[in-house]
Amino acid sequence: MFSMIEIIGFTAAICTTSAFLPQVIHSFKTKRTKDISLPMYITLTFGAAMWFIYGIFIHSLQIILTNAVTTIFSFAILTLKIKHG
């Protein structure tokens, strides 16, 4: 079975990865992104992509998968921000 530490780590990873999905849905539906920071999503998309590359280098499937998802979500919000201003 999983240890308490593993459950905490797994919960943390699920939360910080899935957190961006409600923002993707919100921005897609409302087509309003004025209150969202552009520099935030430029930096976050770049950073998550760097984590993804880092995961490939150190052969960590967990880092690769979670950051592939984060890069996609963050890039989706960035695209909506650029589109709707």
The residues of the shown chain that bind a copy of itself, judged by CB under 8 A, are 5, 8-9, 11-23, 25-27, 30, 32-41, 43-44, 46-48, 50-51, 53-54, 57-58
Q: Tell me if 69 sits within 8 A of 12, measured CB to CB.
A: no
Nearest approach in angstroms of CB 70 to a copy of itself is: 8
Nearest approach in angstroms of CB 82 to a copy of itself is: 14
Between 51 and 65, whose beta carbon lies closer to a copy of itself?
A: 51
- For every residue of 36-57, DSSP letters joined together read S-HHHHHHHHHHHHHHHHHHHH
Nearest approach in angstroms of CB 38 to a copy of itself is: 8
Residue 30's CB: how many other CB atoms inside 10 A?
10
Cα 11 from Cα 3, distance rounded (Å): 12
